[in-house]
Each structure stands twice: as C-alpha cells, then as structure tokens.
C-alpha cells in the first residue's frame, strides 16, 4: 500500500501501516528508561525519504498517530530503512500508547497495525502523560 501523502499537507487523515520494534538507540538506552537519552530514542516516528518528500514533511515536524489502541503526537524523522507506506516507531512509551490492549495468542500487535496520521500543530505528547 503506497499512500497519497500529498493529502497530509492539508491536514487530511492518512492511512499507513505501523511497525514498532527495536532501534539501535532505543536498544542501547532501554535499561535507563527515565533518562533524556531514552526519551529521545523513543519519541520519533520514522518515514521513508520518498514518502516524506511527497508529503512535503521535514524532520522535526509533529505528526499525530492514531490506532484503535491510542493516539500520540510525535516528531517525524526520515529513515532509509523504512519502506514506503510504513511508519516505524521504536519500542517505548510512545509506541506502547499506540498498541491495543488486546492480544493474539498472548502477544501484542507490534507489527502491521493500521494507523491514521495527520500533520499536527500540537507539541509532541508529554512524556509524563504516557505513564498515567
């Protein structure tokens, strides 16, 4: 699925596929979860370069991600490791806020989750709010 990212510019809702998982920075800092370094390692959504160009997004813009599990506002970043039509969020509080409580065979839905994305004028979701 390759979305029409040009709709994102006007604030229209965009449907993508969310994948979560370990990143190098997240994995390296995961034992110190209340540090600024860990927060920075987990507080981004990574997009394919082509998708960002088509959407006229630049690194640092805030996007709102919503699944049937939850919603967060997060910083958009570019990654050459993310496929078109996919958004990647490193495991951590931001990703956890998007993952539904229900499971399949006891395992949460960390991959291939439908997600809606809109460009946001809000600040990123407050770190402390994610723990409430």
pLDDT above 90: residue 78: yes
Taking only the tens place, the pLDDT of each residue in 87-131 is 999 999 999 999 888 877 877 777 878 888 888 888 999 988 888
Residues 6+ apart with CB under 8 A from 105: none
Element (H, E) at 29: helix 24-29
| pLDDT, tens only, 109-119 | 778 788 888 88
Domain hosting 99: range is: 6-131
What is the number of structural domains in the chain? 1
Residue 1 lies in a domain: no
Q: For residue 127, what is the domain's CATH number? A: 2.40.40.20
Residue 6 scores a pLDDT above 50: no
């Amino acid at each position: 699925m390759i979305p029409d990212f040009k709709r994102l510019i006007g604030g229209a809702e965009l449907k993508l596929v969310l994948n979560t998982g370990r990143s190098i920075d997240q994995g390296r800092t995961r034992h110190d979860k209340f540090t600024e370094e860990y927060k920075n390692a987990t507080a981004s959504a990574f997009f394919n370069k082509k998708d960002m160009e088509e959407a006229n997004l630049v690194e640092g813009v805030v996007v709102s991600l919503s699944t049937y599990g939850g919603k967060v506002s997060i910083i958009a970043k570019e990654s050459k490791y993310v496929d078109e039509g996919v958004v990647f969020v490193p495991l951590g509080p931001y990703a956890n806020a998007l993952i539904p409580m229900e499971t399949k065979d006891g395992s949460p839905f960390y991959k291939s989750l439908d997600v809606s994305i809109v460009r946001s004028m809000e600040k990123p979701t407050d770190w402390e709010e994610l723990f409430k």
